[in-house]
Amino acid sequence: MSTSPTPVLSKTFTAAMHMHGSWGSREVGTHASTMDLYLRDDDTGFIEWDIPSLYTVEEIGLTFTIDAKGTRTLLAYDGIMALPGEAVDLMREAGIVVSNEFEDRCKFLVGDTQAGDAWLDWHDAYQKLSGYEAGRGWIDTAKVGDDWRSQDGTLHLKRVA
């Protein structure tokens, strides 16, 4: 079995960028960049992220679980502080299952109101679902517009972003 990387998919885009570190983060402007997804025969792969105007190439290491049908599910990533939404999109376009846990664009609304204080990110929504295992399964794959209600009617979540 070879573990040489195989190019799978490439995506070029322009987006606002931030530099992150233990010191915090700062905006560095809007830049064109390209992400190239590579997979190995084992349970690993990586995304090479080229940002020419910043003279930067980032490598995002990827680890997957692989089911009996060969479907890859993202288990972990390494090399950058936060996984960009474009990297999530790239993997999903390549057929990789990526939990909403990895997507910082993912937002949920609690209840039936549009009040700003009722919006939760994935991690806060997951905590809100403590004791509701069916809801915790739903939250990982919920798409924008999907909603979930507890059987007892005490909790309602809707994915809004």
Q: Quick one: pLDDT at residue 112?
A: 63
Burial (CB < 10 A; 0-12, 13-18, 19+), residue 43, is: middle
Residue 63, Cβ neighbours under 10 Å: how many?
15
* Residue 84: HSE in the Cβ half-sphere, 13 Å Cα cutoff: 23
Nearest to 142 by CA among 110, 119, 108: 108
Task: Say what the pLDDT of residue 38 is.
Answer: 98
pLDDT means over runs of 10, the chain (161 residues) = 85 89 84 97 96 95 96 94 91 95 85 64 84 84 88 84 80
For the entire predicted model, the pTM comes to 0.83
Specify whether the CB–CB gap between 62 and 49 falls below 8 A.
no
Cα gap 3→161, rounded to integer Å? 37
Query: How much is the pLDDT for 111?
Result: 76
Domain boundaries, given as residue ranges, for the chain: 6-98, 107-159
Q: What is the pLDDT of residue 35?
A: 97
